[in-house]
Structure 1
Amino acid sequence: MHLHASKVLVTGGNGAIGCNLVQKLLASGTNVTVLDDFSQSSIHNLNNHKNLKIIKGDLLNSKILKKTFSNDFDAVFHLAARFANEMSVYDPVEDLRVNIEGTLKILLESAKKNVNRFVYTSSSSLYGQTNLIKKNESLFPKPTTPYAVSKLSGEFYCNAIHEQYGMDYSIVRLSNSYGPYDPPGKYRNVIPNFIQSALKNKNIVITGTGNETRDFTFVDDVVNGIILAAKKPKARNEIFNLGTGKETKISTIAQLIKKNTNSKSKIIFKPKRKFDHITRRKMDISKAKKLLGYSPKTDIKDGIFKTCEWFSQNR
């Protein structure tokens, strides 16, 4: 599928990953419609563009859905979700409503409009805690939070709707994306929260020992992988890990952020949260490399530098 001059819908297109994706699509000549309720993102993430249409509203609202799908789309990128693990633990019912029911409604509307490709952004969190450090797509999922369960449910619905309606899909399991436009906050990611603390010379708080690892993936690489999943014929009805294939300690992240912000912050440690069962994670990205031509370019040092620079300029 060629995205140039095509028409696509991006749900959650104003979010941290979504707005980076939208900017990339617009730059390639794609006509983009964004559906977002702006509940978890800034109103300033997207600039006006002749090929951009923004619909503000809840994806569960039938009137909003009717308005959105009055347009024809060649592809749908479904990024909208209630973020993320910690928030889902405190309110699993709302997580189900948005992430499962919302995904099903978008899938059904897309299928009725004969969308060529539905791209669903899933999560590496659904692998859960296993003895196998390097996670591959054939690994049996063991989700341990409502968020992870909701993401896995969305994957099953993608396949079910394909079987019932014939709509092709691609699933990408994202691994700890970070970069510009990722906001700090109570339930947000560690990197923006660490950067915010560092810029204010406040304590950088690590929950755990600091030796826990994740496969942190710079948002530009994530976006490139998502677009490849929409374009490549071999991506039809397949699941792909999008990561770097490398693991980085949380304590290393904190030190890199301190260095790049010239911060006087102290790094302190607190007990890990009850739902934090995963101690190590890195992604097997061999399938994405082989079938998509996916090749992450940004190492963790460069990615943290670029992210800190963006935050410093947009305080």
Structure 2
Amino acid sequence: MAIVDSGSPPIGPDPTACTVMFGKSTYLGRSLVSALIKSGGWAVRVADTLPPPSLGPIQSDLAAYFHVDVADRSSLSSAVAGSAVVFLVDPLPPFPSPLVGGDFPRLHALAVVGAKNVVAACREAGVLRLVYTGSADVVFDGKNDIRDADESLPYPHRYEDPLNELRMQVEVLVLSANGKDGLLTCALRSGNIFGPGDPHLVPFLVQEARSKRAKFVIGSGKNMCDLVYVENVVHANVSAEHALSVAPASVAGKPFFITNDKPVKLWEFISNILENLGYRRPSIHLPINLAMIVILLAKLAGDKLKVCRLSNSVFSPSTVYSLSCSRTFDCSKAKTLLGYSPIVSFQEGIELTVESFSQLAKGSGHALERDWTITSKADRMLGSGVVADILLWRDEKKTFALVLSSFVLFYWFFLSGRTFVTSGAKILMVICLSLFIQGILPTKMFGSNIEKIPPSCFEISESTMRDAFFALASLWNEGISTMKLLAQGDDWSIFFKAAGCLYLVKLLLHIPISVLVGLGLASLFTVFIVYEQCEEEVDDLKKAAVVGLEKLKEPLIARLPKFLINNS
């Protein structure tokens, strides 16, 4: 590859010359440059902010490298001068991530200011066509699902991910420049790109799998998305350039969604990639609201304690929404006006991608997906009814209602500073007043029917009372039975269990009751769902603990006085 720093621009653009902006630093840019060189019909110029490559993957007499500064219009003018076409590739990171420090100003200068200067340089140099490849997420607000959207969908008023807002600004700049100084422009809104050698997606998934974080499925796991193979996006760029030259009236100044024309379940795609590389597919379903609560608490703890900074993109709200929302787009307009159609099928794309990352494969065999149709142990422990639905976060409305009411009661009785008697009396007073007001209200008011509380709501059936007494009697009998076994002195395991429980109670008595109740409430809404999702891991830990205690019991018994051992 020849390296060019400056030179006198030729008179008029060369119809076979093109410039790929960010053709070295971006995955799509490198793929586009390789395809253009391989076609043999283009004299390719690679313009990038990275320093000149010594030995890069692209080596050809048809390619020249320009080291540019996007803030310096003169260096950009040298790179695009003489080119008939400029392919501008989105330089922003492909994944949502928390921006810290000077990231946002730097990325804004790279993308928005850079695009503005690229457009100006193209107009000055007499470039005929400009094709910008951005992202379909320019119409994604970051929270709400998008299903089969076409190009008529407007930009959102607010973005959860600031990177998508920057992409929107670049797209507006490019499209608004259409027709000025003879420059024709269009924008390609690509779905999430994947393919062989992708330095972002697959390495990121493998890293998460190795760190055990890839066990979690955010949300239901049924959200659909449009992923697109990298060669198809390259083909879309070539098709768009051709359409701008032969039918500019129907293409110029317009955006086009580019997909593989086959929406898939995002988590099924992730699972296929990981499973084919030998890693366990994600199986632990984490509710979105619970994930957001964890992120919020972690952020608050990090801000207060100056630790646990959220440096990983997994722990950002934008990533959680991105992984749990459906985003599918209609590429019919691109197929009709650009002549685009996917040249590589989705399944073939996955196979080629996995094959290229064989070095990241795990040596073990494929893990099996957990069968979620089988009732979990946590569900059976909770009775597989309403209580299970609430504590396992299956009915999120009821769960949050119970969480809120529990917090209110916890504050009322423990954090308000009042005594239990005062707090209880005030609550009873409010209940009595509410019942009395509800009782004197008419059955119909302002055209709405008011349902009265039936007397049966305050009655307790005989069977319920009998079951309650039977439960208490069973607990009493179990306690008496345990005391009898202790009195016989034959079962050391019973002794150690009883002693351990009593010692634990002793330790707990030193902790304020408000702290114990608060921890109990927090555990109530977390322990069961964690056990359900990590059932195998918890059972393995329990077995290991039992084995460890059994090994510990023998030396403890050996240290006891001989007369106790002989008597037993």
User: What is the 5 A alignment of 1:143-292?
Assistant: 144=159, 145-184=161-200, 189=201, 191-195=202-206, 204=214, 206=216, 208-209=218-219, 210-232=221-243, 233-234=246-247, 235-263=251-279, 271=291, 273-275=316-318, 276-278=320-322, 279-292=325-338
SS at match of 1:169: strand
Partners of 1:75 and 1:89 in 2: CA distance? 33
TM-score normalised by structure 2 residue count: 0.49
Q: CA deviation at 1:294?
A: 1.0
Q: Quick check: 1:12–1:81 contact (8 Å CA) kept in 2?
A: yes
Q: CA deviation at 1:89?
A: 3.9
> Going by fraction, where is helix more abundant, 1 or 2?
2
Match of 1:127 in 2: 139
> Going by fraction, where is strand more abundant, 1 or 2?
1
Partners of 1:45 and 1:207 in 2: CA distance? 38
Match of 2:64 in 1: 53
Distance change (3 Å), C-alpha of 1:80 and 1:43: farther
Higher RCO (CA-CA < 8 Å; seq separation 6+):
1
SS at match of 1:244: coil
Partners of 2:360 and 2:33 in 1: CA distance? 19
Q: CA deviation at 1:246?
A: 2.7
Amino acid aligned to 2:262:
K
Q: CA deviation at 1:148?
A: 1.3
Partners of 2:317 and 2:360 in 1: CA distance? 34
Amino acid aligned to 2:18:
V
Partners of 2:23 and 2:285 in 1: CA distance? 35
Q: CA deviation at 1:64?
A: 3.0
Asked if 1:92 corresponds to 2:104, the answer is yes
Distance change (3 Å), C-alpha of 1:93 and 1:79: same
SS at match of 1:120: strand
Amino acid aligned to 1:115:
V
Match of 1:297 in 2: 343
Q: CA deviation at 1:105?
A: 0.3
Match of 1:82 in 2: 92
Amino acid aligned to 2:326:
R
Distance change (3 Å), C-alpha of 1:96 and 1:102: same
Distance change (3 Å), C-alpha of 1:151 and 1:48: same
Partners of 2:360 and 2:126 in 1: CA distance? 41
Gapped regions of structure 2 (runs ≥ 5): 1-13, 293-315, 362-568
Gapped regions of structure 1 (runs ≥ 5): none
- Please, which of 27, 34, 44 is the counterpart of residue 46 of structure 2? 34
Amino acid aligned to 1:52:
A
Q: CA deviation at 1:82?
A: 2.4
Q: Quick check: 1:202–1:265 contact (8 Å CA) kept in 2?
A: no
Distance change (3 Å), C-alpha of 1:265 and 1:125: closer
Partners of 2:64 and 2:215 in 1: CA distance? 40
Give CA-to-partner distance per residue, 1:267-305, whole Å, 9 cap, x none.
Answer: 556636312435001110100111112111333322111
**Pair member with larger Rg:** 2
Match of 1:136 in 2: 150
Q: Give the % identical residues.
A: 23
Partners of 2:281 and 2:259 in 1: CA distance? 29
Partners of 2:59 and 2:178 in 1: CA distance? 35
Q: Quick check: 1:204–1:254 contact (8 Å CA) kept in 2?
A: no
Q: CA deviation at 1:128?
A: 1.2
Q: Quick check: 2:85–2:130 contact (8 Å CA) kept in 1?
A: yes
Match of 2:358 in 1: 312
Match of 1:11 in 2: 21
SS at match of 1:277: helix
Partners of 1:52 and 1:97 in 2: CA distance? 27
Give CA-to-partner distance per residue, 1:70-124, whole Å, 9 cap, x none.
Answer: x310100001522245347443222221111100100100111111110011211
SS at match of 1:86: coil
Match of 1:73 in 2: 83
Q: CA deviation at 1:169?
A: 0.6
Distance change (3 Å), C-alpha of 1:307 and 1:201: farther
Distance change (3 Å), C-alpha of 1:267 and 1:192: farther
**Aligned-residue CA RMSD in angstroms?**
2.9
Count of equivalent residues:
303
SS at match of 2:186: strand
SS at match of 2:321: coil
Distance change (3 Å), C-alpha of 1:266 and 1:290: closer
Give CA-to-partner distance per residue, 1:221-273, whole Å, 9 cap, x none.
Answer: 11101110011133322211101233222321232123322335765566363
Q: CA deviation at 1:32?
A: 0.5
Q: CA deviation at 1:311?
A: 1.7
Partners of 1:267 and 1:131 in 2: CA distance? 22
Partners of 1:182 and 1:135 in 2: CA distance? 27
Q: CA deviation at 1:50?
A: 0.8
Distance change (3 Å), C-alpha of 1:211 and 1:268: same
Distance change (3 Å), C-alpha of 1:246 and 1:206: farther
Q: Quick check: 2:20–2:88 contact (8 Å CA) kept in 1?
A: yes
Partners of 2:45 and 2:317 in 1: CA distance? 39
Partners of 1:127 and 1:94 in 2: CA distance? 23
Q: CA deviation at 1:38?
A: 3.6
Distance change (3 Å), C-alpha of 1:262 and 1:131: closer
Partners of 1:303 and 1:94 in 2: CA distance? 33
Partners of 2:21 and 2:274 in 1: CA distance? 34
